[in-house]
Amino acid sequence: MITQLNRIEIPSEIKDNLLCDILTKLLEFDPNKRITAAEALQHPYFTSPEANADISKEQQDLASLAEEPKIKQRK
């Protein structure tokens, strides 16, 4: 919920500190202080070993395929 002080108050049900941190940064009222999408993707919420451990084998395989160079198709 956004308070009158233009800052976000994270619900007490959310216990993940990294999630709270990224939400606060993404929902920053001042656009000059708000993190960019690129910065958000580099946040530990997405890049930490714990985040990567939650990714299934199938998701890892798909991500690997997306990183492989594209095969040129014959004309």
What is the predicted pLDDT for the residue at 12? Answer: 86
Any domain includes 35: yes
Any domain includes 6: no
Domain that holds residue 33: 17-67
pTM over 0.85: no
Which residues lie across from 8 on neighbouring strands?
A: 2
Any domain includes 47: yes
Any domain includes 36: yes
Tens digit of pLDDT for each residue in 3-15? Answer: 556 777 888 888 8
Any domain includes 42: yes
Tens digit of pLDDT for each residue in 48-74? Answer: 888 877 777 777 778 777 777 766 666
Matching residue, tokens 């690997």: 64
Number of domains in the chain: 1
Contacts of 46 (CB under 8 A, 6+ apart): 40
Any domain includes 12: no
Residue 44 confidence class, pLDDT cut points 50, 70, 90: very high
pLDDT at 35 over 70: yes
